[in-house]
Structure 1
Amino acid sequence: MARVSSSDSNAPPKTGFGDSGSKKLERSGSENGVQLKKELGLLDGVAIIVGVIIGAGIFVSPKGVLDHSGSIGQAIIVWILSGILSMVGALCYAELGTMIPRSGGDYAYIGVAFGPLPAFLYLWVALLILVPTGNAITAITFAQYLLQPFWPTCDAPIEAVRIFAAIITCVLTVINCYNVKWVTRVTDIFTTTKIAALLLIVAYGVWHLMKGNTEYFQEPMKGSKTEPGYIALAFYSGLFSYSGWNYLNFVTEELRDPYKNLPRAICISMPVVTIVYVITNIAYFATLSSEEILSSDAVAVTFANKMMGFIAWVMPLFVACSTFGSLNGAIFASSRLFFVGARNGHLPAAISLININCLTPIPSLILMCILTLVLLFIRDVFVLIYYVSYVEALFTLISISGLLWMRRTHPNAKRPIRVNILVPLTYLLTCSFLVISSIYQSPAAVGIATLITMTGIPIYYITIHRPIPFLTKVSHNINMFCAKLFLCVPNQEKFD
């Protein structure tokens, strides 16, 4: 048990939101007070990446990729290139994650490369858009598929879907608060389930092709759309299904031997996901016509109804299991992002508190749960996907730019992994194309997302750069209340 010693509660904090309360942790041997435990091994890391990536996307996104590609052949090419691009990005993040072995992912890397303001803007937009939107959409998708058997001829009532999504979000938050081992067990179990579901689809597709049903592959490139805007939108749909490849970087401090296990987990999981995705899409295209795919809101369910006969009911269950595991992994990883941001003074210090019994960031998890619950009850939360895609691509672009910038500004920094310079350049150019195409194709959505991001600038100056005394006092009171309510103490490791 770490020792806690009193300090001057009247001493002014360094930042408005960075007030760490009236207690500080002493160093104990090689440990720095109460810290997050290193409980994640290589297989846990692989399960987190695969578990977060394979959510609802592969079961529904083939429609979007095909719609914007125009042909089956080009759609398959987009799926392959999206996987390769995600792998390239993941390798860049492997260098960043081993050079800067701190939790927080993009937030940590942007902060080291470009300073506190850009890092705060990422944190700000992640808090308002990226993380709660992704979690809310995943929870709603889970609820829709799990409730579908009870309303076989129509959609489940939206109120029932929202309530069930809220319940499962709260249940998973409690699991994450209680024990990290429970989280990894849930992730491992449901990762296995979703892989089994995809392999079942592949098996039926192979069986269908072996019977000589190749008519849908006669003219694979017919109708291809080559305009840059459509190509970008097709990649967005594909990359949406691959999103989550950087989530392990959010929990680096809880990964055993991160210098070895982070890159190994990436190099194992990304090829596996890409291969599974590509052969799954080939199975879809072998059994369903383009018209059937484009008219379906859930391609996997349409596939099951056509090919699997009386056991078709298992597919909605498999999709629900897939989204459940994905939501669990996302809650676990994203809560660490806000925990690290608060620890560095960019959010109220209460969010950086750790429960002394469970050694989990309970206030951060509860904040994430509350934000997700709020978005669950927005009339059309799916419209936020457009903002999420652009903002995520923009800040990934900034992170990769930071890798190249630090090659120049920190040439002697320890880099256990150093990728060839062509790797980040390739990703940088491709990501730039997607961001620029977004501006051309959807200027209104891009403008709104940019405006939301820019609102973080005045927030930064009034709460962090030159904090208002009233906000500092409020932050301190909230910090003390949460520390007592959740039996928490601060983690004192700082990020410079």
Structure 2
Amino acid sequence: MQTKSSVNLKRDLGIISGLSLVVGTVIGSGIFFKQASVLEMAGGQTQGLLAWGLGGVITLAAGLTIAEVGSRIPKAGGLYSYIDGIYGHLMGFLTGWSQVVVYAPAVIASIGGYAAHLTANFLGIDLGWSRLIGIGYIFFVMGLNLLENRIAAGFAVLTTAVKMVPIVILIGYGLFFGRVDALGQTVTQVAATPGGNFGMAVLATLFAYDGWVLVANIRDEMKNPKRDLPFSIVFGVLLILLSYLGVTYGVYRVLPAQEIVSLEDNAVFAVVKSAFGLVGGRIMSLIIIISMLGTMNGKMVAFPRMAYAMAKDGLFPAYLKKLSPKTIVPAPATITVALMATGIAAFTDSADLLSNLAIFTIWIFYVLAFIGVFILRRRQKKLTMIIDFKTPLYPITPLVGICGGAFVVGSTLFSDFLGALTSIIMVLVGIPVYYYYINKQKHTK
């Protein structure tokens, strides 16, 4: 491994790679499995479409806001660097700590677990093998990311193309062959309240949209980050929004609302089977497995880069800032994140719970970043620096992102206070760790 300052990350990723990482990291299994739960919580088809649409609008507003923050703080490290630049080193550290130590290994293990269960069912083998399969997927994706960054980027492009196939099919089949009225139907049993729980439906879609911000972690590996980063975020989120709305509308056109709810996680499979039979259902399972591997790859690309950036700032162990001399990727950070994910996958079945708790804290930092665009505009008002991207419809756009983020945080506190409190405690554990590294830096000077 190399630690010399002359060895830097390679700038060879373009717009296609950036777009693929945004789309590939976000679109995993949520759009295929969440149709019934969102519809049930919303209370009807019209409300269900509105929930997916509002979640997308909030995410798009968030993306437009973060694109400006990234232009004003042109550093690698993504959200960690943005919060650090706006609020100082402690808040920046807690942002990176919560993502690298808590969220990253948990969510990677969780994705591996879902993919492994689908694989076991697809192969017709005992589910007892799923844990080993999940670990195997983690090591496979880790191996890809130990090669040159264009390999992982190429895998992102490939898996994104694959996962777009069923999305296009579902949209087209629903539009041209669906015979059900896609608007106006209600469900007889609605979650939470007699009138539905539209807010919780929006919350569920926001979790399905999460992950787009991670592309900011590869800024220093983009050929033209000033152009490609905001383009990738904005158009990537817009493509995801249109895909989610299209798939939802297609499913609503094929199946009655009550049937979608009764089918639960199998609603999308039922649509595919009606079009292509049992073979189509098996093909869909395979595509979703590939889709989830693409999502895992996006996480494995992004989070080690954050650990690498924090190590360069002296806030994580020094070995994490080393680059492979052959492939020029942060190999130690990649291996470390993969091993933490493997530990969770091997010894606990609660990875999904951990990732859900971590999402709560990530949205807290999202909101801080959205507020940061107001702070940065005021702070940099007299500077002559060129801003490559400015949030359109300012200040309305960032305010939409702030309100959406506040809704996520408030809803989680209301629905799972103990879980939210646990998540906050996990983040606060990072405070003594931060001061340990600060004191270490003082003694080494």
Matched, 1:417 2:400: no
Q: Which moved more, 1:60-69 or 1:362-371?
A: 60-69
Matched, 1:176 2:142: no
Matched, 1:92 2:65: yes
d(CA) in 2 for partners of 1:255, 1:422: 30
Q: What are the residue-to-residue correspondences of 1:305-320 with 2, within 5 Å? A: 305-312=273-280, 313-320=282-289
d(CA) in 1 for partners of 2:59, 2:258: 29
Tell me the residue number matched to 1:396.
366
SS, match of residue 440 in structure 2: coil
d(CA) in 2 for partners of 1:104, 1:407: 21
Tell me the residue number matched to 2:231.
264
Matched, 1:356 2:325: yes
Identity value in percent:
22
Does the 8 A contact of 1:179 with 1:358 survive in 2?
yes
Does the 8 A contact of 2:108 with 2:299 survive in 1?
yes
SS, match of residue 219 in structure 1: coil
Structure 2 residue identity aligned to 1:367: T
Task: Return 5+ residue gaps in structure 1 as ranges.
Answer: 5-22, 26-32, 474-496
Q: How far has the Cα of 1:437 moved from its partner?
A: 2.3
Among residues 417, 428, 432, which one is paired with 2:406 in the alignment? Answer: 432
Tell me the residue number matched to 1:481.
none
d(CA) in 2 for partners of 1:239, 1:131: 18
d(CA) in 2 for partners of 1:333, 1:110: 17
Q: Which moved more, 1:243-252 or 1:423-432?
A: 423-432
Among residues 194, 203, 217, which one is paired with 1:250 in the alignment? Answer: 217
Q: How far has the Cα of 1:310 moved from its partner?
A: 3.6
Tell me the residue number matched to 1:406.
376
Tell me the residue number matched to 1:214.
180
TM-score by length of 2: 0.91
d(CA) in 1 for partners of 2:397, 2:184: 35
Matched, 1:300 2:268: yes
d(CA) in 1 for partners of 2:329, 2:56: 33
Matched, 1:343 2:312: yes
d(CA) in 1 for partners of 2:176, 2:312: 54
Among residues 11, 30, 44, which one is paired with 1:38 in the alignment? Answer: 11
Task: Return 5+ residue gaps in structure 2 as ranges.
Answer: none
d(CA) in 1 for partners of 2:112, 2:267: 19
Does the 8 A contact of 1:120 with 1:346 survive in 2?
yes
Structure 2 residue identity aligned to 1:338: A
d(CA) in 2 for partners of 1:446, 1:298: 30
SS, match of residue 182 in structure 1: helix
Q: Describe the superposition over 1:202-230 as per-residue Cα deviations: whole angstroms up to 9, x where unpaired.
A: 22222332xxx225644359877898994
d(CA) in 2 for partners of 1:87, 1:348: 35
d(CA) in 1 for partners of 2:326, 2:123: 41
SS, match of residue 59 in structure 1: helix
Q: How far has the Cα of 1:297 moved from its partner?
A: 2.6
Structure 2 residue identity aligned to 1:88: A
Q: How far has the Cα of 1:306 moved from its partner?
A: 4.0
Tell me the residue number matched to 1:488.
none
Q: 1:132 to 1:274 in 2, by over 3 A?
A: same
Does the 8 A contact of 1:351 with 1:361 survive in 2?
yes
More helix by share: 2
Q: What are the residue-to-residue correspondences of 1:69-468 with 2, within 5 Å? A: 69-151=42-124, 157-209=126-178, 213-215=179-181, 217-219=183-185, 230-294=197-261, 295-312=263-280, 313-377=282-346, 378-413=348-383, 414=385, 415-419=387-391, 420-461=394-435, 463-467=436-440
Does the 8 A contact of 1:245 with 1:270 survive in 2?
yes
Does the 8 A contact of 1:97 with 1:252 survive in 2?
no
Q: Describe the superposition over 1:262-304 as per-residue Cα deviations: whole angstroms up to 9, x where unpaired.
A: 1222232222211111110111222233444334234332333
Does the 8 A contact of 1:73 with 1:221 survive in 2?
no
Q: How far has the Cα of 1:76 moved from its partner?
A: 0.6
d(CA) in 2 for partners of 1:96, 1:184: 24
Does the 8 A contact of 1:65 with 1:237 survive in 2?
yes
Bigger Cα Rg: 1
Number of residue pairs matched? Answer: 436
Tell me the residue number matched to 2:40.
67
Q: 1:433 to 1:267 in 2, by over 3 A?
A: closer
Structure 2 residue identity aligned to 1:266: I
Q: How far has the Cα of 1:335 moved from its partner?
A: 1.3
SS, match of residue 323 in structure 2: strand
Structure 2 residue identity aligned to 1:457: I
d(CA) in 2 for partners of 1:449, 1:457: 14
d(CA) in 1 for partners of 2:363, 2:245: 22
Aligned-residue CA RMSD (Å): 2.5
d(CA) in 2 for partners of 1:410, 1:226: 46
Q: How far has the Cα of 1:123 moved from its partner?
A: 1.5
Q: How far has the Cα of 1:136 moved from its partner?
A: 1.4
d(CA) in 2 for partners of 1:307, 1:229: 31
d(CA) in 1 for partners of 2:101, 2:266: 28
SS, match of residue 178 in structure 1: coil
d(CA) in 2 for partners of 1:177, 1:132: 17
SS, match of residue 171 in structure 2: helix
d(CA) in 2 for partners of 1:222, 1:100: 50
TM-score by length of 1: 0.82
Does the 8 A contact of 1:52 with 1:325 survive in 2?
yes
Does the 8 A contact of 1:229 with 1:440 survive in 2?
no
d(CA) in 2 for partners of 1:87, 1:443: 28
d(CA) in 2 for partners of 1:234, 1:215: 21
d(CA) in 1 for partners of 2:78, 2:196: 29
Q: 1:292 to 1:258 in 2, by over 3 A?
A: same
Does the 8 A contact of 1:98 with 1:258 survive in 2?
no
Q: Describe the superposition over 1:353-376 as per-residue Cα deviations: whole angstroms up to 9, x where unpaired.
A: 011111010000001101111121
d(CA) in 1 for partners of 2:317, 2:217: 19
Q: 1:244 to 1:450 in 2, by over 3 A?
A: same
Q: Which moved more, 1:179-188 or 1:286-295?
A: 286-295
Does the 8 A contact of 1:54 with 1:326 survive in 2?
yes
Q: 1:269 to 1:24 in 2, by over 3 A?
A: closer
d(CA) in 2 for partners of 1:458, 1:214: 58
d(CA) in 2 for partners of 1:376, 1:297: 23
